[in-house]
């Protein structure tokens, strides 16, 4: 997949392109349904597929006080778009000036000049441009002049899940700790990425469970404070069954302590400090608890490890 980060370097494909636009946070099953439609139509038209997205969530600029935490960082989003079969992704730098751009100017600059769009496919509730002034109707109004058709797709729904698939719905599930249902909407396990940093050393010395303390960027959404079963993926791609503790360690620290993601890799003995880690959440095991003694905590941790092993043995990664 070709990635364009500067509109001045846009390819303006000679045969045009089939385009979709959006934040694409999570690249979930709803997003993939749109991409699948774009790919199908692009094949019929004999042109490449293109996604227009942004280098940050637009809400971080427009309404930073209520901007959502992200399901994916930019690198992961681009990897997922490539995996979905997109030919070209245009990453637009979103800042205050861009937020003030009219929807009409955006259409002319990006869909017209940059991509020579022949088809634009978006969700039926799609909005863009200054004060969200752009929508499917505006695209349909401008399309004939600029040479593109428009399709507004209904949002994808999954049996047994209330409401359409959306990034907002997935965030709500993760905030409640329901990583299983979140995975159903994502089409994969929720994954966070960060760097393994030194901790207080208690896991290896006092508890007998050396953990990787993974520092995740603050704009990425972590699930609720629970003990989880999951997978830890190292930079070389090797994957380990993992018991994950996400929370504030109430046995050792007072209320209000910083949240910490600790990953105990089953059947692993080695050095992890400083490496870029990927942690995937498969299922939750129990809520976070405060124990009266270290011995009680260690006994529970042993049970957690066995529960994680059993949960992960039921599936594949």
- Position 76 scores a pLDDT of 97
**Shared domain check, 213 and 148:** no
Residues 193-210 as b/e (b if ≥16 CB within 10 A, e otherwise) read bbbbeebeeebeeeeebb
172 part of a folded domain: no
**Shared domain check, 147 and 207:** no
- Position 145 scores a pLDDT of 95
Q: What is the CATH number of the domain that holds 203?
A: 2.40.30.30
300 part of a folded domain: yes
DSSP the chain: -EEE--GGG----TT-EEEEES--TT--HHHHHHHHHHHHHHHHHT--EEEEEESS-THHHH-GGGPPPBSS-HHHHHHHHHHTT-SEEEEE---HHHHTS-HHHHIIIIIIIIT-EEEEEEETT--BSGGG-B-HHHHHHHHHHHT-EEEEEPPPB-TTSSSB--HHHHHHHHHTT-HHHHHHHHTS-EEEEEEEE---SHIIIIIS---EEEE--TTBPP--SEEEEEEEE-TTS-EEEEEEEEE--TTTS-TTPPPEEEEEETT--S--TT-EEEEEEEEEEEE----SSHHHHHHHHHHHHHHHHHHHHTS--
**Shared domain check, 139 and 205:** no
50 part of a folded domain: yes
- Position 252 scores a pLDDT of 58
183 part of a folded domain: no
- Position 288 scores a pLDDT of 78
Residues of the chain with pLDDT under 70: 160-161, 199-208, 249-254, 256-257, 291-292, 315-317
- Position 113 scores a pLDDT of 95
Residue 54 and residue 40: Cα distance in Å, rounded? 24
> What is the model's pTM?
0.91
**Shared domain check, 149 and 210:** no
Q: Integer distance in angstroms from the first to the last C-alpha of the chain?
A: 25
- Position 36 scores a pLDDT of 94
103 part of a folded domain: yes
Choose the final residue of a domain: 98, 128, 153: 153
Residue in 262, 271, 275, 306 annotated catalytic: 262
Choose the final residue of a domain: 91, 126, 153: 153
130 part of a folded domain: yes
- Position 317 scores a pLDDT of 47
Choose the final residue of a domain: 108, 126, 153: 153
- Position 198 scores a pLDDT of 85
Q: What is the CATH number of the domain that holds 44?
A: 3.40.50.620
**Shared domain check, 121 and 11:** yes
**Residue 91 pairs with which residues in a beta bridge?**
53
**Shared domain check, 203 and 142:** no
**Shared domain check, 16 and 129:** yes
**Shared domain check, 148 and 21:** yes
Residue whose structure tokens are 């960082």: 73
Q: Domain limits at 265?
A: 190-313
45 part of a folded domain: yes
**Shared domain check, 147 and 35:** yes
pLDDT tens, residue by residue, 161-211 = 677 899 999 999 999 999 999 999 999 999 999 999 986 655 544 566 788
- Catalytic residue at 172? no
Query: Considering its fold, how many domains does the chain have in total?
Result: 2
174 part of a folded domain: no
**Shared domain check, 266 and 141:** no
**Shared domain check, 35 and 147:** yes
**Shared domain check, 201 and 300:** yes
């Amino acid at each position: 997949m070709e990635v364009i980060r500067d509109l001045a370097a846009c390819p303006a494909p000679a045969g045009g392109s089939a385009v979709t636009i959006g934040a694409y946070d999570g690249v979930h099953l709803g997003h993939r349904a749109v991409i699948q439609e774009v790919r199908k139509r692009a094949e019929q038209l004999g042109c490449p597929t293109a996604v227009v997205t942004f280098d940050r969530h637009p809400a971080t600029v427009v309404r930073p006080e209520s901007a959502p935490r992200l399901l994916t960082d930019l690198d992961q989003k681009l990897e997922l778009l490539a995996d979905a079969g997109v030919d070209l992704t245009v990453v637009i730098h979103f800042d205050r000036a861009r937020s003030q751009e009219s929807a009409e100017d955006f259409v002319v600059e990006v869909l017209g000049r940059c991509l020579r769009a022949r088809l634009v496919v978006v969700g039926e509730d799609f909005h863009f441009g200054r004060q969200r002034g752009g929508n499917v109707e505006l695209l349909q109004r401008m399309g004939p002049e600029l040479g593109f058709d428009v399709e507004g797709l209904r949002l994808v729904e999954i049996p047994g899940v209330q409401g359409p698939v959306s990034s907002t719905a997935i965030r709500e599930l993760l905030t409640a700790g329901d990583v299983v249902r979140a995975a159903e909407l994502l089409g994969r396990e929720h994954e966070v990425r960060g760097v393994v940093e030194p901790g207080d050393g208690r896991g290896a010395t006092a508890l007998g469970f050396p953990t990787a303390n993974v520092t995740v960027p603050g704009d990425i959404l972590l699930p609720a404070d629970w003990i989880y079963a999951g997978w830890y993926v190292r930079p070389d791609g090797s994957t380990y069954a993992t018991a994950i503790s996400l929370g504030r360690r109430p046995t050792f620290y007072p209320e209000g302590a910083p949240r910490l993601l600790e990953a105990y890799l089953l059947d692993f003995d080695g050095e992890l400090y400083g490496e870029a880690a990927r942690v995937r959440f498969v299922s939750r095991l129990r809520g976070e608890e405060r124990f009266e003694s270290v011995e009680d905590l260690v006994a529970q941790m042993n049970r957690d490890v066995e529960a994680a092993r059993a949960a992960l043995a039921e599936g594949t990664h």
